[in-house]
Amino acid sequence: MSKQLLSTQALTKTYIMGDIHVHALRGIDLSIDEGEFIAIMGASGSGKTTFMNLIGCLDKPSSGTYLLDKIPVHEMSDDELTLIRNQKIGYVFQSFYLLPRTTAKENVELPLLYCRHCNLHQRHEKALHALSIVGIAERAKHFPNQLSGGQQQRVAIARAIVNDPMFLLADEPTGNLDTRTSVEVMAIFQALHKQGKTILLVTHENDIAQYAERQITFRDGRIISDKKNPNPRQAADDLLKLPQLAEED
Amino acid sequence: MSILGIVRIAFKSLLRNKTRTFLTMLGIIIGVAAVITMLAIGKGAQKIVEDQVNSMGTNVIMVTTNFSQSASNVRQAAGTGNLLEVADVEAIHDQVKNILYASPVYNTYGQLKFEGANWRTGIMGVDVDYFYIRDMKVSDGDLFHASDVESGAKVCVIGKTVADNLFNGVDPVDKIIRIRNIPFTVKGVLEAKGQNVMGMDQDDTVIAPYTTVFTRLLGQHWRNMMVLVSAQSKEAIPMVQQDILDLLQSRHRGTTSDEFAVRTQTDLAEAANSVSKTMTILLASIAGISLLVGGIGIMNIMLVSVTERIKEIGIRRAVGAGKRDVLLQFIIEAVSISIMGGILGIGLGFGAAEVVGNAMKWSVAVTPWSVFLSVGFSMAIGIFFGWYPASKAANLNLIDALRYE
């Protein structure tokens, strides 16, 4: 049995907007092991994004417990959460969230800038290594506006993995991409997964969820299904079937 | 993360917006340059005043009568008392300790004539001590001597302005001029001294032995008699002042100490300096206000910049920047703008002071403390006006910042 990465118990999140209490999460019990590739699914408003924010330490739960690597994250201060975000979690967002007028390499270096033990040389090495993993090292000096959507998302993935986090958190990473590029990005995630990375993928597209090994579905702030996908689709195979597009510049 | 790293981040983001950074800096540049230039001009003015005061001579004490009071308590104009006489000067010279020289000074006006030219100027009747007290030298010819004073010789020395206006290129030495129609031999031309503290031309003068002026020009009337004394040292001045007052009171029975004025050049210097100081403070405070406006400009731009970069702040926070990192980044950006502006402002201030100095022929002096002051002030402005936008940036809600469109 593989090691447990994180677990939540009775995790809730309530937003107070004036007099109205919005129960975004109504008690989530979940356990995730190291090395899993999970798709979190659900319609908009189902609570999946809120759940991702909590898991990603971007937000604090209203009640319940969240253990990450057996550490009670729900009790932590802002500064401790900042450290966890920096060291243990890699984020990939729907609209890439790269800093404008900043080169791809500098964007990838960003998490390392806020890490205390990295010198300039290590930063440089790690950033280039991460870029080469996602196959975009030759674009290191390009600015985001000189890159296509798929390339930007690759840079974002490189940024997420540069600090060698415990897991990757991807929020609708293919939401802004066309079919072929989506499959390419999924191929990268699957390749990273094969190398042992734990990946949490939030998506509302059933097609994309098929690439994951476990599918968790949210509705109205609760988990309504949690099932294994013993035969996930292989993005690399799918890519071969898709018509080849003109080479991106 | 290290401060150095944050400094690097701050500089990168400043460089991403070069035009905006420079325009923001401009407020500080102009403010600092204005402060430095104004203080330099003020310092220059002060130096001119000091030079003028020093041109009076060193450790000079002036004794004058203040006013006279008749038996019916009617006060007359200052200097009408006619209380001081030559015997007083001799008494001061002989009896007061710690003095080097003492000379009577009679002031009057008169028309001067030489051949076809004429010139109206101030005439001074003095003893030879006067030349030592005021440290006067001739550029041409010679001063008159004690024997001339004793005999009441009709000799004089003239200032450069008089020489220029009356002689028109002719060498004045040993020429005979007419002062109020009485012939005087010009013994020498004095070295130029320039303006005095009151702005009067010190070279527009004729100096003759007081005995001659008294008997030939003034007749029976003693007018505006003044005694000029020089003390041995600066420290002795207060004592000498008091001794002179005491002596004069004992010599003139029935007078009060109010009736004599014993002033030093320091008094004059202070009066003149207070004017230039007031002007300097006025100019510098106007410049200071422009520095303040520059600071508000920084805050303005930083606030805009925070709003513009909410998303960037969210991204940085998401990948591991703490609140402290964001706070420091924005403060360092503000402080860098103000310090760089300060440094450029110092350069501009030096340049402007130089230009003003050349244009006005003043010795404009940039003082080191005005440089420290403006750099310190601009740094403080950066921190002060950078703090609010920075704390606003640091305290943004992470999720809101990240989802901000």
Is some CB atom of chain A closer than 8 A to the CB atom of B9? yes
In chain A, how many domains are there? 1
Phi and psi based region of residue A18 (left: phi greater than 0; alpha: psi -120 to 50; beta: remaining): left
Number of residues that make up chain B? 405
Backbone angles phi, psi at B200, to 5 degrees: -95, 145
Count H helices and E strands in chain B, helices first.
Answer: 13, 10
Contact A110 B398 (CB under 8 A): no
From B1, B315, B322, residue closest to A79, measured CB to CB: B322
In chain B, how many domains are there? 2
Q: Residue A58: how many CA atoms within 13 Å on its side-chain side?
A: 26
Nearest residue in B to A49, CA atom: B399
Within-domain flag for B264: no
For B51, the token pair is 């030079």
pLDDT for residue A249? 47
pLDDT for residue B293? 87
Within-domain flag for B90: yes
The residue among B182, B308, B230 whose CA lies nearest residue B62 is: B230
pLDDT for residue B316? 92
In a shared domain, residues B102 and B248: yes
Return d(Cα B275, Cα B364) in angstroms, integer. Answer: 17
Query: Across the A/B interface, how many CB contacts are shorter than 8 Å?
Result: 65
Whether residue B159 contacts residue B190, with contact meaning beta carbons closer than 8 Å, is answered with yes
Cβ partners under 8 Å of residue B370, min gap 6: B35, B36, B39, B40
In a shared domain, residues B148 and B296: no
Is some CB atom of chain A closer than 8 A to the CB atom of B403? no
Helix intervals (H) in B262-367: 265-308, 310-318, 323-360
Q: Which tens digits make up the pLDDT trace of B302-342?
A: 889 889 889 999 999 999 898 999 999 999 999 998 889 99
In a shared domain, residues B276 and B385: yes
From A53, A79, A86, residue closest to B319, measured CB to CB: A86
What Rg, from alpha-carbon coordinates, does chain A have?
Answer: 18
Q: How distant, in Å, are the alpha carbons of B79, B82, B85, B132, B249 from that of B88? A: 15, 12, 5, 19, 11
From chain B, pick out residues whose CB is under 8 angstroms from the CB of A91.
318-319
Cβ partners under 8 Å of residue B131, min gap 6: B137, B143
Restricting to B residues 85-104, those with a Cβ less than 8 Å away from any Cβ of A are none
In a shared domain, residues B240 and B330: no
Within-domain flag for A10: no
Within-domain flag for B20: yes
Is some CB atom of chain B closer than 8 A to the CB atom of A51? no
From chain B, pick out residues whose CB is under 8 angstroms from the CB of A107.
none
Question: Long-range pairs for A220-229 at CB < 8 Å and ≥24 separation?
Answer: A220/A26, A220/A46, A220/A47, A221/A12, A221/A23, A221/A24, A221/A25, A221/A26, A221/A27, A221/A46, A221/A47, A221/A50, A222/A26, A222/A27, A222/A28, A222/A47, A223/A28, A223/A29, A223/A30, A226/A30
Is some CB atom of chain B closer than 8 A to the CB atom of A60? no
For A29, the token pair is 């019990």
In a shared domain, residues B91 and B150: yes
In a shared domain, residues B287 and B335: yes
Give me the CATH number covering residue A222: 3.40.50.300
Q: What angle do CA A11, A59, A94 make, to 5 degrees?
A: 105
Q: Residue A27: how many CA atoms within 13 Å on its side-chain side?
A: 1
The pTM of the whole model exceeds 0.80: no
pLDDT for residue B224? 60
In a shared domain, residues B36 and B101: no
Tell me the three-class secondary structure of A227-248, residue by residue.
Answer: EECCCCCCHHHHHHHCCCCCCC
pLDDT for residue B48? 79
From chain B, pick out residues whose CB is under 8 angstroms from the CB of A76.
none
How distant is the Cα of A8 from the closest Cα of chain B, in angstroms? Answer: 20
In a shared domain, residues B224 and B336: no
Span between the terminal Cα atoms of chain B, in Å: 28
Q: Give the distance, in angstroms, between the CA of residue A71 and the centroid of all CA atoms in the same chain.
A: 20
For B277, the token pair is 């100081």
pLDDT for residue A125? 92
How distant is the Cα of A180 from the closest Cα of chain B, in angstroms? Answer: 26
From chain A, pick out residues whose CB is under 8 angstroms from the CB of B9.
113
- DSSP letters for B167-199: HTTS--TT-EEEETTEEEEEEEEEPP--B-TTS
How distant is the Cα of A239 from the closest Cα of chain B, in angstroms? Answer: 31
Which of the 8 DSSP states describes residue A138?
G
Within-domain flag for B141: yes
| Local mean pLDDT, 10-residue blocks, chain A (249 residues) | 87 91 92 94 90 92 93 91 92 91 91 83 92 93 93 95 94 91 94 94 92 94 93 90 64
In a shared domain, residues B104 and B240: yes
Within-domain flag for A208: yes
In a shared domain, residues B220 and B279: no
Q: Find residue B226's DSSP bridge partners.
A: B105
Span between the terminal Cα atoms of chain A, in Å: 45
Contact B398 A114 (CB under 8 A): no
Is some CB atom of chain A closer than 8 A to the CB atom of B323? yes
pLDDT for residue A132? 94
pLDDT for residue A137? 92
Nearest residue in A to B4, CA atom: A113
Which of the 8 DSSP states describes residue B137?
-
Nearest residue in A to B14, CA atom: A101
Within-domain flag for A56: yes
Within-domain flag for B320: yes
Within-domain flag for A13: no
Whether residue A88 contacts residue A166, with contact meaning beta carbons closer than 8 Å, is answered with yes
Return d(Cα A97, Cα B404) in angstroms, integer. Answer: 11
Is some CB atom of chain B closer than 8 A to the CB atom of A22? no
pLDDT for residue B5? 78
From chain A, pick out residues whose CB is under 8 angstroms from the CB of B327.
none
In a shared domain, residues B203 and B307: no
From chain B, pick out residues whose CB is under 8 angstroms from the CB of A163.
320
Domain that holds residue B209: 84-254
pLDDT for residue A143? 94
Is some CB atom of chain B closer than 8 A to the CB atom of A247? no
Domain that holds residue A222: 32-238
Within-domain flag for A24: no
Q: Are strands A167-171 and A89-92 parallel, antiparallel or unpaired?
A: parallel
What ipTM was assigned to the predicted interfaces of this complex? Answer: 0.92
Restricting to A residues 136-195, those with a Cβ less than 8 Å away from any Cβ of B are 159, 163
Low-confidence stretches of chain B (pLDDT beneath 70): 1, 67-83, 197-199, 220-224, 254, 256-257
From B315, B324, B399, residue closest to A53, measured CB to CB: B399
Return d(Cα B344, Cα B20) in angstroms, integer. Answer: 16
Q: What is the largest CA-CA distance in chain A?
A: 54
In a shared domain, residues B209 and B297: no
Q: How distant, in Å, are the alpha carbons of B295, B386, B387 from that of B382? A: 7, 5, 8
Return d(Cα A98, Cα B261) in angstroms, integer. Answer: 82
Of B254, B287, B311, which marks where a domain is finished? B254
